[in-house]
């Protein structure tokens, strides 16, 4: 029987428990009924938007020049190809929320992947919150919920497809980030980035091995190693599932499984529940259903992939994060509810987790580069198949379709394009440096398929939320605040041992960093133990911004932070007060470190990033704009994400609502 | 046993043959109707119709007594006792037809499972082939080979599970032709049907079993393995099938019982049967 390894950090575990405890009630989220559509307006014009996450305009231009992206080139020749201004900060949830609402974060309240709770300074996910049911009956260890829980999408502002709906213009929006759970609409929408796995994480894989290995259960995801023993060519272990909302303390559920290994051949049979299948070494299983029971008659089902990495001399089995089953979703995935089931019926199981490719498995060397690419190729093929079907159904209105491959592969393979990257390996680079250009070529093929299937009335927009740049060095914001007298720890504390601000002396602390680009003042009246008087706020903010902008890396002489944005100056709208006080716009090659966002204080101010996650986009938006390519000429010289929204509305002849701050691009 | 399974199988096949090209519900409705009529007939002939009618009248009477005298505890308790006795009498009257019907019903259900329990795999799908050996056989020492018919390929080396006396292979369907798998164990050869028909309703035999009577009753699809065979069971694990009722997936057995009961009660008046 497997014995789970202890997590590397108790504090981290506690943090995970805090943020994920609400996932226990996932079986009871009330489903919205099928929303009947009114008679749909047949639009003369159609708009197809391909959202290619992280498509970098510089690399795109280079590849177009080399004739490697003929369809991009064709599209640009018919209209425009321009850099597309990203959000502040240029993180995907923020940037896509800009596009969804046509505003900046002041209008949609998504400021970072991670926000903080001003009551306890703890990091919280910015995109959604899960609330358990309010009423329940307790019978010994048994809990009987009397009301369903709730999941709230924390993005504010109206989505552009809701505005289109007001005008009866049909829209299909597939996997756009920052739309989990999907906002109520009669349009066909499927949630994207931000959609958790069945455990409520952003992706938690399981790895079963008899080799010593440690993996960090990270920040809402990562993986778990299960020590297993091969006894008589048999392995027995269990797959962890969601927490049981029917049991006191919400313990984790499990599904037991067995692996039978052939005594000679590198092949094994895996058996659990009513599933039995054979895998050869280095083989993926395809999607397998798995059901976690809470009490008799109540449970949730998910889907996962098995990968038999090695049979001998060491046993290694990877099980992907358990995705929500689109055929029987335990959590809301689509509007209407039936859309998810329709897709599952037509295409079988498919990735539903927000960011599908398992970057954490590659990072932790559970999957190697080729194995990661094989998994991401499955994501790509599923996406292409569904897009092809949606294009056939695309008769009117708008179709938005999202691809994650560009983003995920650039994050993990940028080290092979950048010889100065601390994680650059020449031998591997020879094999994997073509991955990113090849991914762009795959996107060109997607565009080719679209161009072949659309008619002359269709406006095509290819867009990305941001570009990419190397992530060579990580900046420890909280260490800087500590060194410069803005943050204080309790006497006798060793800073490098602190996590989640556990030893912070809030009675002396003026500022702290939580999230990937955010800096908050410890403001009186806002933070629970705030000390900065509102009257001091302006001066302190400017002082911090100036100091941060002056900060140079002693090793390179380069500025670490190109621009420290004061949120009240760059954001507009009703939610500016919820924003961090300063947004860090990093210089090229720099980003926040791995430890700082969770309230840690590593010794070094600037660290080498030796990880495989080697490309990123936490910079100033000026450094990494997104891409905009359209077959209609763009009239703006410096378009930004929210301008595309205004442009789409104007194409359909809709008067731009006052809350949409973008300018029409067409 | 095999001849009996063959005879019942032939009857079921004759009944279902016209429905193979239609939605499986058509065959299910028809066979439920036919068996409901048949059961009504057997019930009428084998049960004490007069006794059943009398027992039912008594039950009705005692129920009325309980209702009317619910404030008189003594009468109420007496009524309950008499109601219980009348129920026993009703059940006793049902025992004979039940005993007569249980064997044909069992044989019928085992045959119906071959038609409604599994679905034909798609091209490109994989199936598991499981071969179970007798306890005395050491599976890791066997010289095994599987010969697949055209359209089916053996897609993996064998997985020998020593402590379960089992050897498994993965089969891949590349074309829906079907035929016979041949498992070679040294000089011995054992065949197993692998049907891959294109019809919407099809008879699929998943297991070929040994001479054990109980196993044969449960798995009537193929002639049992020879008595001297070292193999106990050969199974091709087809995907299980469900009947689709407006998106609701229903097990065939549930559908069959519900439909038979509906037809039975609906037709009892026509056949003048007291149930």
Say whether A482 sits in a helix, a strand or coil. Answer: helix
Distance from CA of A233 to the nearest CA of B (A): 8
Q: Chain B contact for A233, CB < 8 A?
A: yes
Q: Say yes or no: B137 contacts chain A, CB-CB below 8 A.
A: no
> Residue A31 above 70 pLDDT?
no
Least confident segment among A532-541, A592-601, B153-162: A592-601
- A262 and B128 within 8 Å at the Cβ level: the answer is no
What confidence tens digit (pLDDT) does each residue in A351-408 have?
999 999 999 999 999 999 999 999 999 999 999 999 999 999 999 999 999 999 999 9
Quick one: average pLDDT of A316-329?
97
Q: What is the pLDDT of residue A219?
A: 59
Q: How far apart are the C-alpha atoms of B13 and B20, rounded to whole Å? A: 10
Model pLDDT, residue A11: 44
Chain B CB within 8 Å of residue A324 CB: no
* Cα–Cα–Cα angle for A628, A632, A633, rounded to 5 degrees: 75
pLDDT per residue over A47-77, tens digit each? 999 999 999 999 999 999 999 999 999 999 9
- Amino acid A10: pLDDT: 37
pLDDT digits (tens, 9 = 90+) for A268-293: 999 999 999 999 999 999 999 999 99
* CATH no. of A44-110+155-195+331-468+630-666: 3.40.720.10
At A619 the pLDDT is: 95
Q: Within chain B, what is the greatest distance between any pair of CA atoms? A: 81
Phi, psi (5° rounding) for residue B208? -110, 125
- Report phi then psi at B194, rounded to 5: -135, 95
Q: What whole-number percentage of chain A has pLDDT above 90? A: 86
**Who among B140, B237, B240 is closest to A263 (CB)?**
B140
Instruction: Extract the residue ranges of chain B whose pLDDT is less than 70.
Output: none
Cβ distance of B170 and A232 shorter than 8 Å:
no
Beta strand spans in A424-580 (E): 458-463, 469-475, 511-513, 518-521, 561-566
* Chain A residue with Cα closest to B126: A277
What percent of chain A clears pLDDT 70, i.e. is strictly above it? 93
Contacts of B125 in chain A (CB under 8 A): none
CB contact under 8 A, A269 and B168: yes
8-state DSSP, A310: E
Domain spans, chain A: 1-30+122-146+198-327, 44-110+155-195+331-468+630-666, 472-616
Q: What is the pLDDT of residue A620?
A: 96
Burial of A381 (0-12, 13-18, 19+ CB in 10 A): exposed
B138 reaches A (C-beta below 8 A): no
Residue B237 contacts A, CB cutoff 8 Å: yes
Q: Is B156 on the interface with A (CB under 8 A)?
A: yes
Please give the mean pLDDT across all residues of chain A: 92
Q: Assign A637 to helix, strand or coil.
A: coil
Say whether pLDDT at A24 is over 50.
no
B-chain residues near A234 (CB < 8 A): 161, 163
- Please tell me the predicted confidence (pLDDT) of residue B248: 87
- Structure confidence at residue A18 as a pLDDT band (50, 70, 90): very low
Helices (H) and strands (E) in chain A, counts: 16, 36
Residue in B126, B156, B163 closest to A267 by CB: B156
Question: Which residues of chain A from 504 to 543 reach within 8 Å of chain B, CB to CB?
Answer: none
Which of A484-488, A501-505, B32-36, B195-199 bottoms out in mean pLDDT, i.e. has the lowest?
A: B195-199
Q: Spell B117-154 as b/e; 16+ CB within 10 A means b.
A: bbebbeeeebbbbbbbbeeebebeebeeebebeebbeb
Three state DSSP letters for A2-45: CEECCCCCHHHHHHHHHHHHHHHHHHHCCCCCCCCCCCCCCCCC
- Of these ranges, A207-216, A652-661, B135-144, the one predicted with the greatest mean pLDDT is A652-661
Query: Cβ separation of B157 and A277 shorter than 8 Å?
Result: no
B145 touches chain A (CB under 8 A): no
Strands (E) located in A149-280: 150-153, 171-176, 188-191, 204-209, 217-218, 221-227, 234-243, 252-261, 267-272, 275-280
Closest-CA residue of A relative to B237 is: A276
**Closest Cα in chain A, distance from residue B140 (Å):** 8
What sign does the CA torsion over A595, A601, A605, A610 have?
negative
Report yes or no: A216 and A613 within 8 Å, Cβ to Cβ.
Answer: no
Q: List chain B residues with CB under 8 Å of A265.
A: 157-159
- Between A218 and A544, where is the model more confident? A544
Query: Which pair of tokens denotes residue A437?
Result: 């250009």
């Amino acid at each position: 029987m497997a014995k789970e390894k202890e997590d590397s950090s108790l504090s981290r575990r506690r943090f995970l428990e805090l943020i994920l405890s609400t996932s226990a009630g996932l079986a009871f989220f009330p489903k919205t009924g099928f929303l009947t559509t009114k008679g749909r307006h047949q639009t003369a014009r159609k708009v197809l938007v391909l959202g290619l996450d992280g498509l970098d305009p510089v690399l795109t231009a280079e590849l177009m020049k080399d004739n490697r992206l003929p369809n991009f080139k064709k599209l640009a020749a018919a209209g425009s190809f321009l850099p597309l201004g990203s959000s502040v900060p240029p993180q995907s949830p923020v940037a896509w929320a800009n596009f969804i609402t046509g505003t900046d974060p002041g209008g949609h309240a998504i400021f970072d992947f991670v926000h903080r709770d001003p009551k306890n300074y703890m990091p919280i996910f910015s995109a959604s919150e899960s609330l358990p049911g309010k009423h329940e009956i307790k019978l010994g260890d048994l809990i009987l919920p009397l009301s369903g829980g709730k999941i709230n999408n924390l993005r504010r502002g109206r989505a552009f497809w809701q505005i289109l709906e007001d005008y009866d213009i049909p829209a299909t929006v597939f996997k756009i980030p920052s739309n989990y759970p999907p906002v109520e609409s009669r349009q066909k929408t499927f949630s994207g980035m931000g959609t958790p796995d069945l455990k409520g994480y952003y992706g938690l894989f399981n790895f079963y091995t008899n080799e010593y290995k440690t993996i960090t259960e990270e920040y809402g995801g990562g993986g778990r190693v299960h020590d297993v023993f091969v006894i008589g060519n048999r392995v027995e272990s269990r797959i962890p599932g969601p927490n049981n909302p029917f049991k006191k303390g919400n313990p984790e559920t499990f599904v037991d499984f067995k692996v039978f290994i052939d005594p000679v051949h590198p092949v094994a049979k895996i058996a659990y529940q009513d599933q039995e299948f054979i895998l050869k070494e280095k083989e993926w299983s395809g999607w397998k259903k798995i059901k976690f029971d809470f009490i008799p008659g109540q449970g949730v089902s998910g889907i996962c992939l098995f990968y038999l990495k090695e049979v001998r001399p060491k046993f290694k089995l990877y099980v992907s994060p358990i995705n929500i089953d689109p055929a029987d979703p335990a959590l809301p995935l689509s509007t209407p509810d039936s859309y998810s089931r329709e897709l599952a019926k037509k295409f079988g199981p498919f990735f539903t987790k927000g960011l599908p490719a398992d970057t954490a498995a590659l990072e932790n060397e559970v999957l190697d580069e080729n194995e990661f690419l094989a998994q991401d190729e499955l994501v790509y093929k599923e996406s292409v198949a569904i897009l092809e079907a949606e294009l056939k159904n695309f008769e009117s209105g708008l179709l938005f379709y999202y691809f994650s491959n560009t983003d995920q592969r650039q994050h993990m393979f940028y080290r092979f394009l950048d010889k100065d990257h601390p994680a650059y390996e020449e031998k591997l680079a020879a094999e994997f440096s073509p991955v990113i250009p090849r991914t762009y070529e795959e996107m060109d093929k997607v565009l080719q398929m679209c161009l072949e299937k659309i008619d002359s009335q269709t406006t095509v927009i290819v867009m990305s939320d941001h570009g990419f740049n190397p992530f060579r060095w990580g900046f420890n914001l909280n260490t800087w605040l500590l060194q410069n007298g803005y943050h204080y720890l309790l006497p006798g504390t060793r800073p490098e041992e602190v996590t989640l601000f556990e030893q912070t002396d809030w009675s002396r602390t003026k500022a702290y960093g939580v999230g990937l680009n955010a800096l908050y003042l410890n403001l009186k009246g806002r933070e629970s133990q705030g000390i900065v008087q509102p009257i001091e706020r302006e001066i302190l903010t400017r002082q911090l911004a100036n100091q941060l902008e002056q900060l140079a890396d002693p090793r390179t002489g380069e500025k670490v932070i190109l621009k420290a944005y004061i949120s009240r100056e760059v954001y507009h709208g009703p939610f500016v007060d919820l924003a961090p006080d300063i947004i860090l716009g990093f210089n090229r090659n720099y980003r926040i470190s791995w430890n700082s966002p969770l309230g840690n204080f590593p010794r070094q101010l600037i660290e080498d990033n030796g990880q495989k996650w080697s490309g990123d986009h936490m910079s100033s938006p000026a450094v990494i704009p997104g891409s905009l390519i359209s077959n209609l000429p763009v009239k703006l010289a410096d378009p930004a994400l929210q301008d595309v929204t205004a442009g789409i509305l104007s194409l359909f002849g809709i008067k731009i609502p006052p809350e949409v701050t973008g300018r029409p691009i067409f | 046993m095999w001849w009996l399974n063959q005879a019942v199988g032939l009857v079921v096949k004759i009944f279902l043959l016209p429905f193979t090209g239609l939605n499986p519900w058509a065959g299910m409705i028809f066979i439920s109707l036919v068996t409901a009529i048949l059961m009504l007939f057997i019930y009428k002939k084998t049960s004490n119709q007069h006794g059943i009618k009398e027992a039912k009248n008594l039950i009705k009477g005692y129920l009325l007594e309980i209702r009317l005298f619910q404030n008189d505890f003594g009468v109420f308790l007496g009524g309950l006792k008499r109601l219980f006795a009348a129920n026993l009498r009703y059940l006793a009257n049902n025992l004979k037809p039940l005993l007569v019907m249980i064997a044909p019903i069992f044989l019928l259900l085992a045959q119906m499972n071959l038609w409604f329990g599994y679905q034909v795999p798609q091209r490109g799908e994989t199936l598991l082939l499981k071969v179970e050996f007798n306890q005395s056989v050491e599976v890791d020492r066997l010289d095994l080979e599987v010969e697949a018919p055209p359209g089916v390929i053996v897609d993996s080396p064998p997985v020998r599970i020593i402590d379960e006396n089992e050897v498994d292979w993965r089969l891949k369907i590349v074309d829906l032709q079907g035929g016979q798998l041949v498992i070679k164990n040294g000089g011995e050869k054992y065949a197993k049907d692998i049907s891959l028909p294109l019809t919407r309703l099809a008879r699929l035999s998943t297991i070929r079993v040994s001479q054990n009577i109980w196993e044969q009753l449960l798995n009537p699809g193929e002639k049992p393995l020879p008595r001297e065979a070292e193999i106990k069971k050969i199974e091709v694990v087809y995907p299980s099938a469900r009947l689709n009722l407006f998106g609701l997936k229903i097990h065939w057995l549930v559908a069959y019982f519900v439909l038979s009961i509906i037809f039975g009660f609906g037709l009892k008046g026509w056949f003048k049967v007291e149930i």
